[in-house]
Structure formats: C-alpha cells, structure tokens
Amino acid sequence: MDNPSSKHHFIPEFYQKGFYSNDGKLFTYKKDYHTIKSRAPAQILYELDLHTIALGKEKTLAIENFYSQLEGKFTEYRDLIKEHFQDVDLMSELMSDPTFMKIAKYMVATQFWRTPCKRDLAVEFTPRLTDLYDQATNEMKAVLRYDRMLIKYLTKRAHKDHAVKFIQFILLPLITFDLSEKSDTIYLFRAPTNQAFVSSDRPVSFDSHEKLFSFKSFCFPFSKELLLFGSENDKAFQLSMEKINKLIAKRADKIVIAASKNQLEEIRAVIIQTRNKPGQMT
C-alpha cells in the first residue's frame, strides 16, 4: 500500500464487526456523555499514527503488519463460528483445536497491551524485559529471533517513543503471557438464544495481572455470541450474561459497543444509577 492509513485501531475493525446487529449496525455508548449512536467501525476506537514508528527520517508500519497477520487468522475462526454457530459440537471442537486456542491466547495478549491506556504500564515493565525474555518459551524467543541484544537495546531506550511502542505493542504481548499450548483453564461460553455479549475499548476484563497473564482468571468477548474466559475451577464458575455485560461496561474506559441499542440503554441506566456508588456495579 503506497499510502497506508494513519488511523490505527486499538480495537480492530474486524473485531468490532463481530458485534454487528443482524442488519449490520454497530451501536456505541459513550460513558462520559451518556450518548448512544450507530457508528461504523472505521469511525471509532483508533488513534492517528498509534502504531507508526519513526526511525530517523524513515517510518515503519511493522506493528500494523504484525497485527494484520494475527487478525486474519482470528477473522477466519470468527466467520467459522458464525457459520456453524448452531452446531452442538462447536464448543468442544474449538476447545480441542490447538490452533484455535493459540490464536485465542494471542488475541487476548495483544488486545490487552494494544490499548493506549496501557502505555504507562508498559514503561513500568521495562526494567523486567530481560528477565521476562529469559523466562519465555523457545517458541517466543524464536519469534524474536533469539535477539537478546534487542531486549537490552529497548530497555535502555525506553524513554524514546519508538522503543516504547515496540515494547508495548509487540514485545510485551509475547513475553508476559503464557502463550504455550497449555489451555486447561480456558473455556468458551455460548450466549443463550436471543442474548448477546457487549464489548468495549478495554475488552479484556481481569482481577490481577498474574492470573490474567497465566489465563487463570479473565474474560474476553470473542464476538457477540461467544465469550472466552479463564477460570481455575470451571464447575464453580457460574456465568450470568447480565453480570458479564455489566462487568465489561464497568471496565470500559470510554466506549461500550453492542449489537443492540436497547441493550446499551439498559447499561446506561445502570451506570447512571450507580456512578456515585462504584461498589454496586459488580
């Protein structure tokens, strides 16, 4: 592409499309202004040149290219799920598919780190980069071409914008999360008929970084029909659509997205009612 777009989505357009209504609409709720509108994915959840790295006079979109490869695989599975959603064996087939589980893990890891609000956290992690790299699997080291010197280079230059972007958007997703084939704490939950999950500008919900990075406790709406979640005890984990959607809306930074305007109106009413009582919305 000779003139690549400078609009870089931290919530990818393809992911947003997983929350379309049946007639192809996406609704957004802005928490700051309590407004609900229909928006196209191209119009929201992006920052200009978010992933652009400037090295001298040259600019590179290596981060955008990195994400596009992962997003293509994720889209394939999302479309497969949509096409075969009524298949009663779908959940078990996905859970036993190592490629799907790996893609799902990568998606959670990258989506957690790619939101702009994680920049300060990325900077906090920089003193630990070498240790995290040393503890990473050989597969992750291979992805990084076994370049330990690169890790040291980035650590020393973490005050530079280009270094922070590479650390946050590429390096940390690969070395903070357990991206091994282990998946015994990851589960899928299918939305009941005529119900749907919402998502947001911070779609990965979690209680602690430790349990998130090990996939032991988190939730991530894969699409409006499917929730990916982590639990150390699946039998004790009782999912409630209402509670999950409230949690996603509560953890959102500024924007909640959904396939239903009515659904967002209900969320807005709860948020307005409890905005001065944060402990009430759990």
Residue 84 has pLDDT above 90, yes or no: no
Per the domain annotation, does 275 fall within a domain? yes
Tell me what the pLDDT averaged over the chain comes to: 90
CA dihedral 76, 170, 50, 3 (to 10 degrees): -60
Query: What SS3 state is found at 37?
Result: strand
Spatial contact of 179 and 102, defined as CB atoms under 8 Å apart? yes
pLDDT tens for each residue of 246-268: 999 999 999 999 999 999 999 99
pLDDT above 60: residue 278: no
pLDDT digits (tens, 9 = 90+) for 98-113: 999 999 999 999 999 9
Residue type, 207: D
Query: Is 1 within a domain?
Result: no
Q: Quick check: is 71 in a domain? A: yes
- Domain that residue 264 falls in: 7-182+252-280
- Whether 237 is in a domain gets the answer no
In a domain, 244, yes or no: no
**Number of residues that this document lists for the chain:** 282
Beta strands 53-55 and 186-190, pairing class: unpaired
Residue 282, pLDDT > 50, answer no
pTM: 0.91
The domain total for the chain is 1
Burial (CB < 10 A; 0-12, 13-18, 19+), residue 33, is exposed
Q: Annotate 178-200 with b (16+ C-beta within 10 A) or e (fewer).
A: bbeeebebbbbbebeeeebbbbb
**Residue 192 forms part of a structural domain:** no
* Residue 77 and residue 103 in contact, taking contact as beta carbons nearer than 8 Å: yes
Q: Does residue 221 sit within a domain?
A: no
Residue 68: what pLDDT? 86
Q: Three-class SS of residue 281? A: coil
pLDDT, tens only, 207-244: 999 999 999 999 999 999 999 999 987 654 567 899 99
pLDDT, tens digit, for every residue of 40-78? 999 999 999 999 988 667 788 888 888 888 888 888 888
CB 218 within 8 A of CB 111: no
- pLDDT of 232 reads 87
Are 109 and 174 spatial neighbours (Cβ–Cβ below 8 Å)?
Answer: yes
Residue 140, in any domain of the structure: yes
Structure tokens at 25: 């609409």
